[in-house]
């Protein structure tokens, strides 16, 4: 009886009609690829043999010249040589990348169930990349990655390096509450930390004051939030979960935001104007003037951009001139205004830095020069009508 592999060679070498004229291009391409492997010294794997039988079975009636031989071959399957054995490599260890940095290495043979697992966990692993060899993945050497990878691949009988096992046991021995409690403001005893806090907000500030919560992101400490507190703008800003927040401009006046920043000792403030619409710009600068006056800020204001001298631009520029919003940038400057996407060069040569940022006239700061500059601040407010999708959604 003819073996299956000889039958495959016979089929792919048949000229009238060719295999491509009888079956789908995909199946024809697979059979030709399998024929190349059959003719080589390495032969095929067991999984490849199963794929060949499947294709022959599905296409037997489409190849009448070989249908009888195919029917016989798939009933009594015989191969002329043993299948090629693929060494099963399953390792997890620590090595170094091309830059000499320590990384976690995941080395594996091309096995479908392992590739499926890799696909499942890849989004949860930081710096997870396939390197040039095709069977080795690198991941950042972090506590999270160690736990994720060990727990994902231990059940698959991976050989795990002893050092990784040691790190895993150490990490799992940690108590989350015990680690977090080290960063409670009431448990931090370092004198430099308390000195810096005192210089910023004063010695007499009570631990329940909103400003204490406001500074937790800036100084990276933890503080227990009260179970009940008043839902107002100051508390919303102070109790934020991340640096970027949205304030609805149809619900709160800009003057209320300025008042909140003063209460939380968040001056100086950087105002970033969206310059896509000059008519809106004029409205926004008038709103700013009114808001600053309501909060008794009448000096030390610098708006560091101007509009072309058309009808709209002249009005905008005149408002800046009339209110003397053209002061030089110094350490005493309370309010600074720039246009989105641009940073005046002299900003890079001054020690002035904002304690807060407000973006007006648009949904959020785009990735540009002004957003990169503003990222040094731990409070960035998008003051607009619609909730930006890319920042924290508030509870107000």
71 found inside a domain: yes
Q: Which of 80-89, 193-202, 350-359, 378-387 has the highest mean pLDDT?
A: 350-359
206 found inside a domain: no
Compute CA distances 243 → 314, 364, 376, 385, whole Å: 36, 13, 10, 19
**Contact criterion met (CB below 8 Å) for 379 and 269:** no
**Contact criterion met (CB below 8 Å) for 274 and 340:** yes
Q: Which residue has the tokens 């909730």?
A: 387
Pairing of strands 102-108, 90-96: antiparallel
Q: Given this model, what pLDDT does residue 313 score? A: 87
State whether 101 and 15 are in the same domain: no
198 found inside a domain: no
d(CA 263, CA 315): 32
Q: Given this model, what pLDDT does residue 274 score? A: 87
Q: Given this model, what pLDDT does residue 133 score? A: 67
Q: Work out the average pLDDT over 195-221.
A: 85
State whether 349 and 258 are in the same domain: yes
Contacts of 378 (CB under 8 A, 6+ apart): 217, 218, 243
d(CA 284, CA 304): 15
Q: Given this model, what pLDDT does residue 396 score? A: 40
189 found inside a domain: no
State whether 66 and 143 are in the same domain: no
Report the domain count for the chain: 3
Q: Given this model, what pLDDT does residue 211 score? A: 92
pLDDT at 322 over 60: yes
State whether 282 and 351 are in the same domain: yes
What CATH number should be reported for the domain holding residue 121?
3.30.780
Produce one character per residue of 102-115: b if its CB has 16 or more CB atoms within 10 Å, e if not.
Answer: ebbbbbbeeeeebe
**Contact criterion met (CB below 8 Å) for 265 and 201:** yes
State whether 273 and 361 are in the same domain: yes
d(CA 297, CA 290): 10
294 vs 133, higher pLDDT: 294
Condensed to tens digits (0 to 9), the pLDDT of residues 252-291 reads 999 999 999 999 999 999 999 988 777 789 999 999 999 9
Q: Given this model, what pLDDT does residue 372 score? A: 84
139 found inside a domain: yes
Q: Given this model, what pLDDT does residue 42 score? A: 87
State whether 299 and 355 are in the same domain: yes
Compute CA distances 279 → 274, 276, 316, 325, whole Å: 11, 9, 9, 19
Give the residue numbers spanning the domain of 336.
Answer: 230-384
State whether 235 and 326 are in the same domain: yes
289 found inside a domain: yes
Which residues on adjacent β-strands are paired with residue 70? Answer: none
Q: Work out the average pLDDT over 170-186.
A: 86
Full DSSP string of 221-245: -B-PPPSS---SHHHHHHT-SSSEE
State whether 145 and 94 are in the same domain: yes
User: Using the 8-state DSSP alphabet, how is residue 187 labeled?
Assistant: T
Condensed to tens digits (0 to 9), the pLDDT of residues 52-110 reads 999 999 999 999 999 999 998 888 899 999 998 877 889 999 999 888 899 999 998 87
State whether 138 and 256 are in the same domain: no
d(CA 393, CA 396): 9
185 found inside a domain: no
Compute CA distances 256 → 325, 383, 384, whole Å: 21, 12, 14
Q: Given this model, what pLDDT does residue 393 score? A: 43
Tokens matching residue 253: 């006046």
What CATH number should be reported for the domain holding residue 281?
3.40.50
Q: Given this model, what pLDDT does residue 317 score? A: 93
pLDDT at 361 over 60: yes
Full DSSP string of 88-132: --EEEEEEE-TTS-EEEEEEE---HHHHHHHHHHGGGSTT-EE-T
pTM above 0.95, yes or no: no
Q: Given this model, what pLDDT does residue 395 score? A: 38
100 vs 336, higher pLDDT: 336
| CA atoms within 13 A of residue 353's CA, in its CB half-sphere | 9
Select from 174, 191, 212 the last residue of a domain: 174
CA quadruple 215, 363, 295, 269: dihedral sign:
positive
Q: Report the percentage of the chain scoring pLDDT > 70.
A: 94
Which region, left, alpha or beta, applies to residue 134 given φ > 0 means left and ψ of -120 to 50 means alpha?
A: left
Instruction: Kindly report the average pLDDT of the chain as a whole number.
Output: 88
Q: Given this model, what pLDDT does residue 139 score? A: 93
State whether 243 and 339 are in the same domain: yes
pLDDT at 236 over 80: yes
70 found inside a domain: yes
C-beta contacts of 193-198 below 8 A and 24+ residues apart: 193/219, 193/221
Select from 41, 75, 109 the last residue of a domain: 75
pLDDT at 336 over 60: yes
d(CA 249, CA 63): 72
Q: Work out the average pLDDT over 235-245.
A: 92
Alpha carbon 250 to its chain centroid, in Å, reads 31
d(CA 292, CA 348): 26
Q: Work out the average pLDDT over 244-253.
A: 92
278 burial class (0-12, 13-18, 19+ CB within 10 angstroms)? Answer: middle
Tokens matching residue 214: 């406001």
pLDDT at 224 over 90: no
Q: Given this model, what pLDDT does residue 377 score? A: 92
My answer on whether omega of the bond before 268 falls inside 30° of 0, hence cis, is: yes
State whether 309 and 240 are in the same domain: yes
Phi, psi of 392 (to 5 degrees): -60, 130
Q: Given this model, what pLDDT does residue 86 score? A: 78
pLDDT at 213 over 80: yes
State whether 123 and 170 are in the same domain: yes
pLDDT at 216 over 70: yes
d(CA 341, CA 260): 26
């Amino acid at each position: 009886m003819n073996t299956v592999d000889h039958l495959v060679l016979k089929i792919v070498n048949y000229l009238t009609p060719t295999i491509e004229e009888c079956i789908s291009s995909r199946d024809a391409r697979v059979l030709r690829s399998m024929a190349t492997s059959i003719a080589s010294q390495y032969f095929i794997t067991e999984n490849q043999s199963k794929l060949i039988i499947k294709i022959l079975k599905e296409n037997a009636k489409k190849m009448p010249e070989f249908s009888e031989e195919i029917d016989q071959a798939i009933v009594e399957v015989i191969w002329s040589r043993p299948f090629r054995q693929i060494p099963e490599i399953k390792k997890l260890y620590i090595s170094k990348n091309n830059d000499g940095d320590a990384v976690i290495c995941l080395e594996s043979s091309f096995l479908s169930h392992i590739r499926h697992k890799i696909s499942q966990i890849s989004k949860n692993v930081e710096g997870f990349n396939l390197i040039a060899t095709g069977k080795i993945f690198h991941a950042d050497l972090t506590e999270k990655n160690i736990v994720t990878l060990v727990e994902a691949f231990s059940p698959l009988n991976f050989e795990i390096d002893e050092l990784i096992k040691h790190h895993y046991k150490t990490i799992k021995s940690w108590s989350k509450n015990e680690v977090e409690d080290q960063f409670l403001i009431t448990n931090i005893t370092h004198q430099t930390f308390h000195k810096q806090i005192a210089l910023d907000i004063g010695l007499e500030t009570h631990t329940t004051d909103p400003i204490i919560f406001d500074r937790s992101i800036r100084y990276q400490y933890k503080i227990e939030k009260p179970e009940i507190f008043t839902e107002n703008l100051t508390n919303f800003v102070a109790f934020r979960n991340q640096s970027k927040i949205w304030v609805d401009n149809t619900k709160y006046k800009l003057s209320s935001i300025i008042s909140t920043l003063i209460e939380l000792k968040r001056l100086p403030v950087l105002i970033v104007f969206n310059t896509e619409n000059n008519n809106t710009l004029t409205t926004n600068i008038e709103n700013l003037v009114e808001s600053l006056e309501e909060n008794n800020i009448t000096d030390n204001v610098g708006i560091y951009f101007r509009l072309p001298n058309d009808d709209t631009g002249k009005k905008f520029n005149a408002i800046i001139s009339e209110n003397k919003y053209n002061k030089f940038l110094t350490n005493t400057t309370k309010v600074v205004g720039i246009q989105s996407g641009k940073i005046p060069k002299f900003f890079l040569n001054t020690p002035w830095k904002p304690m807060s940022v407000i973006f007006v006239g648009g949904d959020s700061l785009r990735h540009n020069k002004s957003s990169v500059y503003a990222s040094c601040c731990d409070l960035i407010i998008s003051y607009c009508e619609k909730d930006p999708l890319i920042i924290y959604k508030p509870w107000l």
